[in-house]
Amino acid sequence: MPPILPDFSSSVKLKYVKLGYQYLVNHIITLTLIPIMIGVTIELIRLGPNEILNLWNSLNLNLVQILCSSFLVIFIATVYFMSKPRTIYLVDYACFKPPVTCRVPFATFMEHSRLILKDNPKSVEFQMRILERSGLGEETCLPPSIHYIPPKPTMESARGEAELVIFSAMDSLFEKTGLKPKDIDILIVNCSLFSPTPSLSAMVINKYKLRSNIKSFNLSGMGCSAGLISIDLARDLLQVHPNSNAVVVSTEIITPNYYQGKERAMLLPNCLFRMGGAAIMLSNRTTEKRRSKYRLVHVVRTHKGGDDKAYKCVYEEEDREGKVGISLQKDLMAIAGEALKSNITTMGPLVLPASEQLLFLITLIGRKIFNPKWKPYIPDFKQAFEHFCIHAGGRAVIDELQKNLQLSTEHVEASRMTLHRFGNTSSSSLWYELNYIESKGRMKKGDRVWQIAFGSGFKCNSAVWKCNRSIKTPIDGPWADCIDRYPVHIPEIVKL
């Protein structure tokens, strides 16, 4: 029997070679400057103080030249610091925890489906198959109006859900931060599918009697990635309004959007979307730096709306019976993959260390010049981030990103557990995931977090945060009463 060759790909020595390469490339400037500084120091010591003084005197500088040089240095420094973007701090945030009375176990969901769709057993069976493979748990929640048979999606009940979710999150944020309503300078509310008049932002202003000169915005129709669009908008506003506080509220109101028809593509959201919301306080005040949790580093937005398939892959429309619902097309994951590829192409140069960028560049040149069949190099984003918050849109979304980004089970744990405990809460899911990481005591000072979200249109948006301080395990919040049970094993199929 011929001798078996060692597996060089998993060799310990190869691992150290890679680590050495990463250290060398990532610290090339430091490693170059150190010998130069040592050489200069040795030369200065060799010359001695008299030679250095003679060299200085030989320059023949007069007072005017010194003053002009000093003025130039001060002018350049002033221009630099005035043009430097303001630092945006995430002071704190709060997530809505639905009441236990809104809980929808699998048995309850399927019983309601059988009663509502009693004339269409195939649709009931389809929903059961989706639920079995969804990755959701038994504690996800739907608003009270959906618990009726048949559901009662009235305007009054939709407003009631909005008030419950938004006001609960806002009250919790005020309690955690000590923020007073009159201290809010900017308010942004995003809710994709429920856009009443007056707007939800006006509802918040009325409830808390906010100032008359507040800058308020209400974003609708922008899908599950609207939360990061709101963060981006808040960042831009805080750049031009100094010494200001901004509050962002991200939610999705389920009540008016629960589909009661028979189209399978429209029944899918019923199985995945659940109640949820979050309120986030941002500030550009330097006084908030000390107590803030995170600092915003980057926001990258990608929009594929120019492509017809991408535009229509998540589409609100009427079915053949005139019932309105959200249609999810089969090519959704392929389109999401293309959007992600475009997004990380922009994000990569901003966050990846030089070692990863160099390997990617070498591979790209090799494929262009030598052999197009070379396997493309996928950058190791684990070198750039300690934590990943992937939008909990569904099991397939998390699986696809874990595969494409080559992430470990622990890296996607927060996303999978959020989907299991709370379901797809749309734009607010990223904040439940961040709170999961904090509740596990894993967030340390200097850690970098990558939030990735997808939304109709089709959009892929991402944000990068850097932790300002080691965060103590919170004693309250949505995970407070269940974090000890997580992570849990989620089977591929839960037989109902």
Q: How many residues does the chain have?
A: 496
Q: Out of 95, 141, 191, 224, pick the active-site residue.
A: 224
| Cα–Cα distances in angstroms (integers) from residue 449 to residues 298, 299, 420, 437, 463, in the given order | 11, 12, 21, 10, 8
Q: Out of 245, 270, 284, 424, pick the active-site residue.
A: 424
Report which DSSP code applies to 462: E
Within 10 angstroms of residue 356's Cβ, the number of other Cβ atoms is 22
Q: Out of 387, 411, 467, 468, pick the active-site residue.
A: 387
Buried b (16+ CB within 10 A) or exposed e, 87-107: bbbbbbbbbbbbeeebebebe
Q: For 298, list phi and psi in degrees, rounded to 5.
A: -145, 150
Question: Does 303 participate in catalysis according to the annotation?
Answer: yes
Question: Does 218 participate in catalysis according to the annotation?
Answer: no
Question: Does 387 participate in catalysis according to the annotation?
Answer: yes
| Cα–Cα distances in angstroms (integers) from residue 421 to residues 395, 424, 436, 451, in the given order | 13, 9, 11, 19
Question: Does 147 participate in catalysis according to the annotation?
Answer: no
Give the residue carrying structure tokens 């981030």: 385
CA dist 36 and 43 (Å) reads: 11
Q: Out of 270, 389, 391, 460, pick the active-site residue.
A: 391
Closest to 400 in 3D by CA, of 326, 495, 327, 335: 335
β-strand pairing of 324-328 with 215-219: unpaired
Question: Does 424 participate in catalysis according to the annotation?
Answer: yes
Contact 454, 397 (CB under 8 A): yes
Give the residue carrying structure tokens 């109006």: 145
Question: Does 224 participate in catalysis according to the annotation?
Answer: yes
Amino acid at 236: D
Alpha helices by DSSP H, listed for 85-225, are 106-116, 121-132, 155-177, 200-208
Closest to 286 in 3D by CA, of 236, 244, 237, 232: 244
Q: Out of 112, 270, 284, 420, pick the active-site residue.
A: 420
Catalytic residue set:
224, 303, 387, 391, 420, 424
